[in-house]
Structure 1
Amino acid sequence: MWKEIHIESWQQFNDVISNLHYNEWVFRGQRDSVWELQSSFYREIKTHYEQPKNIECVKIEDKMIKEFYSSSHLYSSLEFNEPINGDQKDWMKYRLEPLSVMQDYGTPTRLVDWTKSPYIAIFFALDGAVDDFCIYALNVQQLESFDQTRYGSAYLDLKKDVFSPDYPSELFVYRYEPYQKNERLRIQQGLFLVPSVINKTLEQILHVYNIVDGKLNGKDVMYKLIFHTEDLQDYWFKLRQMNITHETIYPGLEGFCRSLKLNIFLES
């Protein structure tokens, strides 16, 4: 499904990403190239259910969201107002906004973190890597165009209905950028991919698009860039030259303290 490219140099990496348009492509770095793409909710639910059903997962998700609505005001000034006009886009925002906050503060959710920046993606791939690491690149605009064609006028309704236990289990994925961004999400140029079901991995859902060697309808839509651990130190130096460090990725004291570990091997 993915078009795999083994990256042998920083120059090769730049050559590959230079052709990927900012408004179309999103990126995700993973510190182990064999890890499958999956949401934190899926990872958590699989530790408790061998074969979870989507209807069960949606009910658990709904319970967590309702508890968040009821008590988040005790810890934050953020407000989430239920739309009164029934507009699908407003309703989806009402449902997805709390999930984005919950995700940022440690709740397992269906959302999968991505970034618009391939350089920030490689930062996250490097951080903690002990084996070959990778960056996934996805032309989400092409996927959404494909879904708009195959579902037509029902597309918006389907995107809303994924939060219903009665959802018919169509398999697709779409992007979501929170209206209320926190500092970390803005710094990291972050956004989320939303899977239509939460009892499957993102990989399993993407398979329904029938993408072969990274191409959908003859267009490149998926790359998996694989990096080798022997080049890890060099890539850290390259990112530091670009001022992409823990201090710039994580706000405040947290970023500074995280950055200190690089002294273990960058000064050697």
Structure 2
Amino acid sequence: MWKEIKIESWHEFNDVISHLHYNEWIFRGQRNSVWDLQSSLYREIQKVIHQPTNTECVTIENKMVNEFYSSSHLYSSLEFQAPTNGNEKDWINFRLEPLSVMQDYGTPTRLLDWTCSPYIAAFFALDGAEDDFSIYALNVKEIEEYDNNRYGDYFFHYKQAIFSPETISELFIFSYDPYQKNERLRIQQGVFLVPSVINKTMDDILKMYNIRGNKMNGNDVTYKLIFNKENLQDYWYKLKQMNITHETIYPGLEGFCRSLKLHILL
């Protein structure tokens, strides 16, 4: 379902992404082009449970979230207040917001990191790449419209149901932009994709969206740009000219120290 495009030059990359509207598309870079799109939580659980059920995955997720709620105040001033107005959107944000913080600081979660910038996605695809690497592009506007049409007013109800230990039968994804953003998320123009179940890959879920080729309702929705590792150094040059380096992607001393390894490449 992903339309694969071999990228042989920076010019070809710019030509492809120039047609993808900023407010409709999001991007994810992966340093190996053969990797599946799956959450870090699903990947880690599979190491200890063969073919885990969604109920098992959600139970583990809830244990981690509860421990985070109980002790995160020891390390951060962030507060997570349960909504009192009964608003479904606020309640969903309350459940997802700790996951976004946990993800940023190294906890495996159901969330998948994406960005609104194809160039920042290129940075993450390049960083650590030893083989051909890739950038996924997804039209979240079309995905959202499809779900709004098939679920209607029940969509928020289904979003709430994903946190229940019982297995949810509906397969869908939705984008999530946290109310509280940290510095790193803002710098990286980050956004998350949230799967309705944890024990499925992104491709498994996207099969439910009636995508033919890479189109849905006549519109492009999926691309996979595959880059040749032989041009890796040239792509780093291009990103550095745009001031996209570790120093600008990661705030503070961490980013500066990470950026020093570019002296090996450039």
- Both proteins in one fold, TM over 0.5: yes
Correspondence list, 1:171-210, <5 A: 171-210=171-210
- Secondary structure (helix, strand or coil) at the match of 2:198 reads coil
Correspondence list, 1:118-267, <5 A: 118-266=118-266
Distance 2:75 2:260 in 1: 30
Structure 2 counterpart of 1:191, which letter? V
TM-superposition CA deviations, 1:191-245 (whole Å, max 9, x none): 1000000011112111211312211121100000000011111100000100001
- Secondary structure (helix, strand or coil) at the match of 1:225 reads strand
| Cα contact 1:7–1:228 (8 A) shared by 2 | yes
Distance change in 2, residues 1:43/1:52 (3 Å): same
Q: C-alpha displacement at 1:121, in angstroms?
A: 0.2
TM-superposition CA deviations, 1:15-66 (whole Å, max 9, x none): 1101111111000000000000000000101001111011111111111111
Distance 2:54 2:212 in 1: 27
Q: C-alpha displacement at 1:167, in angstroms?
A: 4.5
Structure 1 unaligned blocks of 5 or more? none
Q: C-alpha displacement at 1:85, in angstroms?
A: 2.4
Distance 2:166 2:42 in 1: 19
Distance 1:82 1:41 in 2: 24
Structure 1 segments (4+ residues) deviating >2 Å: 166-169
| Cα contact 1:2–1:212 (8 A) shared by 2 | no
Q: C-alpha displacement at 1:260, in angstroms?
A: 1.0
Q: C-alpha displacement at 1:168, in angstroms?
A: 2.7
TM-score (structure 2 length as normaliser): 0.98
- Secondary structure (helix, strand or coil) at the match of 1:160 reads helix
| Structure 2 match to 1:11 | 11
| Structure 2 match to 1:101 | 101
| Structure 2 match to 1:89 | 89
| Structure 2 match to 1:67 | 67
Distance 1:136 1:245 in 2: 20
1:58 matched to 2:67? The reply is no
TM-score (structure 1 length as normaliser): 0.97
| Cα contact 1:173–1:195 (8 A) shared by 2 | yes
| Cα contact 2:173–2:205 (8 A) shared by 1 | yes
Distance 2:185 2:198 in 1: 23
Q: C-alpha displacement at 1:8, in angstroms?
A: 1.2
| Cα contact 2:103–2:109 (8 A) shared by 1 | yes
TM-superposition CA deviations, 1:138-168 (whole Å, max 9, x none): 0011001001101111111101111012353
Distance 1:176 1:11 in 2: 31
Distance 2:206 2:127 in 1: 26
- Secondary structure (helix, strand or coil) at the match of 1:194 reads strand
Distance 1:265 1:67 in 2: 41
Distance 2:155 2:186 in 1: 28
Structure 2 counterpart of 1:172, which letter? F
**Percent identity at matched positions?**
72
Distance 1:115 1:38 in 2: 16
TM-superposition CA deviations, 1:68-123 (whole Å, max 9, x none): 11111111100001112221111101100100000011111000000000000000
CA RMSD of aligned residues (A): 0.9
Distance 2:62 2:54 in 1: 12
Q: How many residues align?
A: 266
